[in-house]
Amino acid sequence: MKFDTPAGQNPIDQLKHVGKPIDRIDGKYKTTGTAPYAYERHDVVANPAYGYVVGAAVAKGRISRIDLAAAKAAPGVLTIVTAESAGPLGKGNFNTAKLLGGPEIDHYHQAVALVVAETFEQARAAAALIVIDYARTAGRFDLEKELKDAPLYSEKGKPPVTKIGDFDAAFGSAPVKLDATYTTPDHSHAMMEPHATTAKWDGDKVTLYTSNQMIAWSKGDVAKTLGIPKDNVRLVSPYVGGGFGGKLFIRADVILAALGAKAAGRPVKVTLTRPMMINNTTHRPATIQRIRIGASADGKITAIAHESGSGDLPGGGPETAVSQTRLLYAGANRLTSMRLAVLDLPEGNAMRAPGEAPGLMALEIAMDEMAEKLGMDPIAFRVANDTQVDPEKPERRFSQRQLVQCLEQGAERFGWKQRSAKPAQRRDGQWLVGMGVAAGFRNSMAMKSAARVALDKKGIVTVSTDMTDIGTGTYTIIAQTAAEMMGVDVAKVVVQLGDSDHPVSAGSGGQWGANNATAGVYAACVKLREAIAQKLGFNSADVTFADGKVRSGNRSVALTEAAGDAGLVAEDAIEYGTLSKTYQQSTFAGHFVEAAVHSLTGEVRIRRMLAVCAAGRILNPKSARSQVIGAMTMGAGAALMEELAVDTRFGFFVNHDLAGYEVPVHADIPHQDVIFLDEVDPTSSPMKAKGVGELGLCGVGAAIANAIYNASGVRVRDYPVTLDKHIAHLPPVA
């Protein structure tokens, strides 16, 4: 199905199932421990062996000697895989470093061996017996140092610096201006389920039960890495225990499980330990961001510049922290640029809302600082600089843009009028209390997505697609879509996900999964509806599907009868035209935080949070709310505690476990609330939806930092905002 004109009225608009807060249909499996995660596929693999990954002990260098003798002789050991025994391997399109290192080492904890044994404990014990000598070489591990000589980054065919108007002249002549630098540290995805894979071979074909967000991408990369045809690779990932971008691509567990199973001649299970997850896989790169804003005395932005620097391994890419600044606020004179330093740290890559999440952590503090310089309320300053068009291309309007409504409704609900414009004025016993606000922004992306829909003689509708559920409620919203389109109850819909044998979907990432995957199901259902109408001799243009029946005029036929004994099957994909280029499709939020800072210790406590979101049609408000409050909690972690500590001598993340890398939980925040504005976007898809899972994170960190400033009067521009950064500057205690 080609989607190249705005959606008109369609069956989804009935909202009998779509838009309802239906309980997650997979919830019962997850809460009872019966959901089949990758490492627990006892139902499909008998008598598996266990693999244990050995990671490089240096960040840069070469293996000069590896002695496997003691490990091979250890009890239970079946085989040991190294780069030498594996033979030539390719590198996937989405991997920056090789997934099996040796003899050259690209980063600390790069996999260099897999020990396969009868039990996990035997594999782990034998791995400790491997002796490896390294020739260490000097590496680059200090972002601030390496950025001094780092080149400007440019995407293919695009200039390295984006300029609109004359920023330098406008900034120089602006009566009110800000020039500040902000930093965000390296972050870990820290998802609950580790990277894990169970591999089995049948002849020259491999099946990988793995934890992965993007099945089609990863199938291609497995084939390319192993040097086998794509048709010989099957990925199965029906349940994913969190990913946040860390499972967009295959990691060492996938390839080593396949190699280990081949060498051992039996199925092999591999999971990465928490330290391996943090240093072996990917992370959100640290940034150093400079923001300059010039404005007229009445608060209109006349000049805005955002320059960011980050680092990655050779061949990697930057953290695109300037992306939202190109679209979020008006201003005739603009400049954005990025620098990319080469670092020999573990690979940097996508983490929930790449670009906007760290970019807004800086930009939305800068907006508050500028508002204070102007003597304006922070919300009023943002509203004054709203735009309904792309500031770089005024001919492109936003398809929907309710940022002002998000901010104004949020202010009313949150009690913003009670905020003191002057910091450090409100006390509650020994606590200093303040409020903060920030805008949230995340683009909506159109991605081709396909599905297969079958109707059987019992009236059961089965949807099959390689789309994944990473804890976002995908099973449920796909079931709701099919139920709406086919006129059946949700209980009559079976959803099959996460199998590369199914049609290729958009996958889970970039906040594009829900809208595109359900649009693909919509397209397949339209084709199935047409097949049913044709079989019954109905005019497909005037049929209705409801209550398990199909009707046309005075005729009504049960779907069970329409299906017949053989049933009916249809497959289609949603394919997008130029609407996403004609219109700027984005999502918006207003984030509000009340925080308290202890006047004696500097300890920070978040008291309450509110997110007001405008993100197209909300397909399931219950699961969407869960996504947003989870994202808000993640934002609290980035603001207050999360930081991968880099050892700049030896090039690794020191706090590579959940004891040293702290993450927040919902219990850390007493009150969280979410409001979804009434919005549909007919330019986005037939679903008129967009996505909300990353929007809930974007802006949260800055809202917290701004609340801390309002409470204490101490401005911290270097995340996380830990007490050591402001305790010496807190107001004196009376």
| Residues known to be catalytic | 694
Tell me the C-alpha distance between 391 and 588, whole Å: 16
Between helices 621-640 and 700-712, what is the axis angle to 10°? 50
302 in Cβ contact with 332 (< 8 Å): yes
| Residue appearing with tokens 């007001």 | 612
Q: Say how many CA atoms lie within 13 Å of 265 toward its Cβ.
A: 1
Tell me the C-alpha distance between 103 and 293, whole Å: 49
Tell me the C-alpha distance between 574 and 518, whole Å: 9
Tell me the C-alpha distance between 494 and 505, whole Å: 17
Phi, then psi, of 590 in degrees rounded to 5: -115, 125
Q: Is the dihedral of CA 479, 482, 488, 493 positive or negative?
A: negative
- Locate all alpha helices (DSSP H) within 583-728, ordered by sequence: 621-640, 700-712
DSSP designation for 388: S
| Residue appearing with tokens 């897999």 | 114
Phi, then psi, of 14 in degrees rounded to 5: -65, -35
DSSP designation for 729: G
- Locate all alpha helices (DSSP H) within 62-204, ordered by sequence: 69-72, 83-86, 120-127, 143-147, 167-173
CA distances from 718 to 185, 187, 726 (A): 8, 14, 11
DSSP designation for 23: P
669, containing H or E segment: none
The token pair at 380 is 């009023």
253 in Cβ contact with 274 (< 8 Å): no
**What is the distance of C-alpha 157 from the center of its chain?**
26
- Locate all alpha helices (DSSP H) within 89-142, ordered by sequence: 120-127
Instruction: Round the CA-based radius of gyration of the chain to a whole number and report it.
Output: 27
Reference 464, options 545, 520, 516; nearest CA is 520
Reference 245, options 111, 113, 356, 106; nearest CA is 356
Tell me the C-alpha distance between 496 and 507, whole Å: 14
What is the widest separation between alpha-carbon atoms in the chain? 85
413, containing H or E segment: helix 403-414
| Residue appearing with tokens 């406590």 | 605
193 in Cβ contact with 37 (< 8 Å): yes
